[in-house]
Amino acid sequence: MILDIINKKRLGKELSYQELDTIFNGYLKGDVADYQMSALLMAICINGMTDEEIFALTKIFIDSGDILDFSDLPGIKVDKHSTGGIGDKTTLVIVPIVAACGCPVVKMSGRGLGYTGGTIDKLESIPGYRIDLSDDEILKQVYDIGLVVTGQTGDLVPMDKAIYALRDVTSTVSSIPLIASSIMSKKIAGGADKILIDIKVGNGALLSNREDAKKLGDLMIRIGEYYGREVRTILSDMNTPLGKTIGNSLEVLEAIDVLRGVEKDNPLVDLCVTLASNMVSMSLDIPVKEAKEKVLEVIQNGSAYHKFEEMVQRQGGNLSKVKVSNHVYFLKSPKKGVIQKIDALEFGKLALYLGAGKMSMDDSIDYTVGVKLNKLLGETVKKGEVLATLYYKKKLPEIVFDNLYKID
């Protein structure tokens, strides 16, 4: 039976709900072996899936664990998901902005994957910050102050955890149907009324071309329609790291500067304003232009930063104790010219080698290390000028300048 299902997909035929259920739930129960599931995943990767199969798979994923219900909370709950990138600290910025605009936000975030950092790791760089709130604590906090960013509660989509781990080691991560059902099942099971997806495109992202990113976005919109959830998608660049920092504490400090309105000529600000405006527009059912005015106002009048401080304090964090390493190395430009490339993937690897992420399951993260870009894409530099500051602890990894930068 299992072999028939794998063979059917190998031949590019459509699997029924029953067949998908048999093999995926069989895998979760331990009745289907890793090698059999790997073969099916590869057949899906190569032959794709029909919309009917994808809707069925999403349901099987959702039904594999708890389904959260925030319907008691007033207002329309909009969740946001990023497909992951280097230096992506948008959640830290937009959740307080959206809450300051009067829209309740419950955000359950994850840890880093591969070269990309996770919001939960970034928040843990704030000493004391709790990421393990119970369902009751989440509800109470959202009632009281309108926002929460925590780790995943309960047993949400355990199927995704099992399948993702296998995809990671079988080169089947970048399948559009598998990405779409993985993300959408988590958002729907997480209790979102409406969903905003930031799809990253570039060499530091899962998808490197816009055509695939557009396909993924359209597919997630169709899954949303099937499940009665409004979904909007934004495509954003990930050929260059987002903003000026990569590494946990450094990213928290940059997010604070954006919330305080200190950061200006920084692409991170534009993306955060776009994402937050869309979330507010979806939550309050108003045009994006009107939502953007509210977003800019709460940054300017300090209420967005105040919300961030309130959330951190409520979750036990102490912002005055956020530390960066005092071992620094200044990476200088070997020539004068204009910065044509700051390679996202190479900078992601560099931050990982510095200790900002985990190279293996047993590694621990050093929250104080990372990279600060002193110059951004398109800027003119002189020979010897500092391009980036590396914060390290033990020793510096080997740096191949031409992998990181192109200056002409």
Q: Which residues bind ligand URA (CB under 6 A)?
A: 83-84, 178-179, 182-183, 206
| Rounded CA separation 75/149 (Å) | 17
To ligand URA, the closest distance from the beta carbon of 38 in angstroms equals: 16
CB-nearer residue toward ligand URA: 112 or 146: 112
Pairing of strands 386-392, 370-373: antiparallel
To ligand URA, the closest distance from the beta carbon of 232 in angstroms equals: 17
Instruction: Pick the catalytic residue from 59, 186, 314, 372.
Output: 186
Residue 209 region by backbone torsions, left for phi larger than 0, else alpha for psi between -120 and 50, else beta: beta
Calculate the alpha carbon distances from 240 to 202, 345, 346, 348, 392 in Å. 8, 8, 10, 10, 21
Question: Is 8 a known active-site residue?
Answer: no
| Rounded CA separation 41/248 (Å) | 33
Q: Which residues pair with 338 in a beta bridge?
A: 380
Instruction: Pick the catalytic residue from 80, 122, 167, 232.
Output: 167
Question: Is 167 a known active-site residue?
Answer: yes
| Rounded CA separation 85/359 (Å) | 17
Instruction: Pick the catalytic residue from 64, 82, 109, 182.
Output: 182
CB-nearer residue toward ligand URA: 81 or 375: 81
To ligand URA, the closest distance from the beta carbon of 181 in angstroms equals: 8
User: Which residue, judged by CB position, is nearest to ligand URA in the bound state?
Assistant: 182
Instruction: Pick the catalytic residue from 79, 88, 160, 343.
Output: 160
To ligand URA, the closest distance from the beta carbon of 83 in angstroms equals: 5
To ligand URA, the closest distance from the beta carbon of 174 in angstroms equals: 8
| Rounded CA separation 312/44 (Å) | 42
CB-nearer residue toward ligand URA: 182 or 266: 182
Enter the tokens of residue 356: 């900002």
Q: Which residues pair with 328 in a beta bridge?
A: 391
Enter the tokens of residue 310: 């309130």
CB 345, CB 115: distance < 8 Å = yes
| DSSP assignment of 197-249 | EEEEESTTSSB-SHHHHHHHHHHHHHHHHHTT-EEEEEEEE-SS-SSSEESHH
Question: Is 64 a known active-site residue?
Answer: no
CB-nearer residue toward ligand URA: 65 or 84: 84
Question: Is 81 a known active-site residue?
Answer: yes
| Rounded CA separation 124/110 (Å) | 11
CB-nearer residue toward ligand URA: 183 or 354: 183
Question: Is 125 a known active-site residue?
Answer: no
CB 272, CB 251: distance < 8 Å = no
| Nearest one of 203, 197, 254 to 222, comparing CA atoms | 197
To ligand URA, the closest distance from the beta carbon of 6 in angstroms equals: 21
CB-nearer residue toward ligand URA: 149 or 373: 149
CB 357, CB 117: distance < 8 Å = yes
CB-nearer residue toward ligand URA: 58 or 266: 58
CB-nearer residue toward ligand URA: 95 or 178: 178
To ligand URA, the closest distance from the beta carbon of 46 in angstroms equals: 17
To ligand URA, the closest distance from the beta carbon of 155 in angstroms equals: 16
Instruction: Pick the catalytic residue from 9, 59, 80, 81.
Output: 81
- Amino acid in position 153: T
Write the burial class of residue 400 (CB in 10 Å: 0-12 exposed, 13-18 middle, 19+ buried). Answer: exposed
Order of strands across the sheet with 78-82?
78-82, 194-201, 230-237
- Catalytic residue set: 81, 160, 167, 182, 186
